[in-house]
Amino acid sequence: MRTLFVIDKKDYNENGTAFVRPSVRGIIQKDGKYALIHSLKYDYYKFPGGGAEKGEDHTATLCREVLEESGLVVIPSSVREYGLVHRVQKGFDSDMFIQDNYYYFCDAEKEIQPQRLEHNEAEEQFVLEFVTLKDAIEANERHDHGEKAGSERFECIIQRETGVMHMLEKEGGKKRFSPLLLTFIPYAAILLYGLFCAVHGIEFWGTAYGFDGFFLGVMFFSIYLSPLLVVCLIIQLACLARQISFFKRINKKKFAIAVGVICAVAVAVIALIYFSPEIETMAEKHRAKSMLKKSDEVISYNESYQRVDGILGIEEITNDSILIDYDKKKIGFLMYNDYDEYIEYELEECENNTITRIAQQYDVQAVVPLDSPGITLTAYTREAGYKHMTAALVLETRDGVYYKEKLDKDGDGAYEFLGLKDSDFSVYDDEEYRAQRMLKYCDVTIPYNKDEQVGGIFGRGDITSDTILIDYSDDYGYSTRKVGFLMNNGEDEYLEYDLSQCSKTTFEGIKQQFKVQAVVPLDSPGVNLTTYTSGGENSDLTAAVVLSTEDGVFCATKLYVSAADQFLDLKDCEYYVYSESN
């Protein structure tokens, strides 16, 4: 609280004993007049209030003393600071009398209670009056106060009360500007900026007007001023908390220090959030340098996007790179996706059947050949349309063991973008890879059209003619039910169908709707692959494929690849082809 003025009589022994007792006084205004205590006996005015008792806070003292002297009931939540008068003079029973007189603005309830005057107050005939400051000052300065006149102690009281009245009159009797109002300026600035953006538009995510402009302006400026806004909010909450009795009992200095510490912590947290990308980049750089130092192999890709300063400022890595540590089974990706980034994965050992399931679940995104024959790093994408999204990594090490990691971090199917889509090393054609994969895992390989042999499908020397690939087994409890067609219709082509299990009724429906095109007997009795055609002029077009498996379950798919369905070139194949009459 500010010091209004000091009254120091210098009539005391500084090294002697001192009696200290603070007092609290209320400034209550009503219709331009002030609630003052008028001593009818000695004709002077003073503000209602009195000395604080031990352990009593200022608000409690103010409420008690104002009620006793005037009968007015102070509203505690209305109490606000004005200033203090420091008074020092010779005491009655001590060498020094020291008193800080605290003045507070406050409001009172309409109903006035009876006074509870002490003996000396009743003797002076204290009454409550609402008077103007001018009238009160004139009465105090007449110096016609009977036997009280000339008393040092009384003169100090008159000097104190009249001095405060003069200051209030000089300030227009208005409440002092509260610093708390400053905490609302940032909110006003944000709203004004929002209005400006609504009227003039802003270049922020494109030019916006009206409500959009207002909203974007408020959001942008709020983010910019967030540290200041948090500090202002904490101060406002602290001021509200100060009205609660529990917080009032806390020493003001300690309370202010606590609020300051909370503000500092809040600003530090916001600063940490702002600088977290830089901190994360530093951590990534440290991990990348460590991996670069320990890696067994460094494979560069996307060399057309070279960065002279190096990824993460590491000069020896001037383009996107894959770092592989065989010993620790770790893979790291140093890349530039609009900004420097390093992502590292620890791969877990897995069995061959796990790799089979991954290969069946995902499409190949890229295959990175390593330094030893047959050892590769394979990245899988969720499906062909999402080649920029990496869903799984598989590493085949020198000892022939597989290691894998599924990238499910986001949980929304987006996964991590590892920059492999347009890489310089081999990115497998989806159709070719699926053919190679099916060749590796299929149960039956059946050549046909041997008279039209070609020099290998997709460069495969072991496949020199059109071939049907069938996977009808349950490997490791994982049902496959796939049929693939490797063929040369002017160019290498591979078509693959996932057959879903169907009921006997569905199978009978297919038989009634279509005509048999070809039946391919498999290696087990009663297990057949049957293709159906619409018949007539469209007998060369395959309309449905049905697989009867070893367990007697029918699996089928209808082919709606295009309006004419897909030509699988089965009409003149060497194995048994049903005629329409059959």
Cα 493 to chain centroid distance, Å, stands at 48
> 49 and 134, same structural domain?
yes
Q: Answer whether residue 70 is part of any domain.
A: yes
Q: Are 80 and 105 in contact (CB under 8 A)?
A: yes
Count the domains in the chain: 4
For every residue of 439-495, which 3-state class applies, written as one string? Answer: HHHCCEEEECCHHHCCCCECCECCCCCCEEEEECCEECCEECCEEEEEEECCCEEEE
> 156 and 12, same structural domain?
yes
Average pLDDT rounded to a whole number, residues 11-17 = 80
Return the pLDDT at 443: 81
Q: Are 577 and 518 in contact (CB under 8 A)?
A: yes
Residue 95: DSSP 8-state: S
> Rounded to an integer, what distance in angstroms lies between the CA atom of residue 124 and that of residue 117?
10
Question: 377: domain range?
Answer: 295-428
Q: Are 394 and 355 in contact (CB under 8 A)?
A: yes
Return the pLDDT at 373: 55
Return the pLDDT at 122: 92
CA triplet 125, 130, 136: central angle to 5 degrees? 75
Q: Answer whether residue 290 is part of any domain.
A: no
> 327 and 374, same structural domain?
yes
Q: Which helix (H) or strand (E) holds 219?
A: helix 210-224
Q: Are 320 and 342 in contact (CB under 8 A)?
A: no
> 324 and 265, same structural domain?
no
Which of 428, 454, 484 delimits the end of a domain?
A: 428
**Tokens 């899988």 label which residue?**
380
- CATH of residue 117's domain is 3.90.79.10
Per-residue pLDDT of 250-269, as tens digits, reads: 777 788 888 899 999 999 99
> Rounded to an integer, what distance in angstroms lies between the CA atom of residue 342 and that of residue 32?
71
Per-residue pLDDT of 53-65, as tens digits, reads: 888 899 999 999 9
Return the pLDDT at 314: 83
Average pLDDT rounded to a whole number, residues 576-582 = 45
Decide if pLDDT at 133 tops 70: yes
Residue 347: DSSP 8-state: P
Q: Write the DSSP string, 362-413.
A: SEEEEEEE-SSTT-EEEEEESSGGGTTSEEEEEEE-TTS-EEEEE--SSSSS
> Rounded to an integer, what distance in angstroms lies between the CA atom of residue 27 and that of residue 164?
10
Q: Answer whether residue 79 is part of any domain.
A: yes
Decide if pLDDT at 576 tops 70: no
Percent of the chain with pLDDT over 90: 18
Return the pLDDT at 389: 80
**Tokens 């790093």 label which residue?**
377
User: Six-digit token pair at 309?
Assistant: 């300063």
- In a 13 Å sphere around the CA of 276, the CA atoms on its Cβ side amount to 6
Per-residue pLDDT of 36-50, as tens digits, reads: 999 999 999 999 999
Q: What is the pTM of this model?
A: 0.43
> 146 and 8, same structural domain?
yes
> 330 and 395, same structural domain?
yes
Q: Answer whether residue 282 is part of any domain.
A: no
User: Six-digit token pair at 346?
Assistant: 């620890």
Average pLDDT, the chain: 82
Q: Answer whether residue 571 is part of any domain.
A: no
Return the pLDDT at 465: 75
Q: Are 435 and 488 in contact (CB under 8 A)?
A: no
Per-residue pLDDT of 77-115, as tens digits, reads: 889 888 999 988 887 777 788 889 999 999 999 899 999
Confidence of residue 165 (pLDDT cuts 50, 70, 90): very high
> Rounded to an integer, what distance in angstroms lies between the CA atom of residue 470 and that of residue 353?
18
> 195 and 148, same structural domain?
no
Look at residue 315 and give its three-state secondary structure: coil
Confidence of residue 418 (pLDDT cuts 50, 70, 90): confident
Q: Answer whether residue 568 is part of any domain.
A: no
> 218 and 338, same structural domain?
no
> 438 and 421, same structural domain?
no
Per-residue pLDDT of 202-211, as tens digits, reads: 776 677 788 8
> 554 and 445, same structural domain?
yes
Cα 339 to chain centroid distance, Å, stands at 20
Per-residue pLDDT of 448-501, as tens digits, reads: 776 666 777 877 777 777 888 888 766 544 456 788 888 877 778 888 888 878
Look at residue 140 and give its three-state secondary structure: helix
Return the pLDDT at 430: 59
Q: Answer whether residue 575 is part of any domain.
A: no
Query: Minimal CA–CA distance to 204: which of 241, 310, 193?
Result: 193
> 238 and 139, same structural domain?
no
Q: Answer whether residue 253 is part of any domain.
A: yes
Average pLDDT rounded to a whole number, residues 390-415 = 75
> 193 and 81, same structural domain?
no
Strand duo 528-533 + 515-521: pairing: antiparallel
Per-residue pLDDT of 284-331, as tens digits, reads: 889 999 998 888 888 887 766 677 778 888 877 777 888 888 888 899
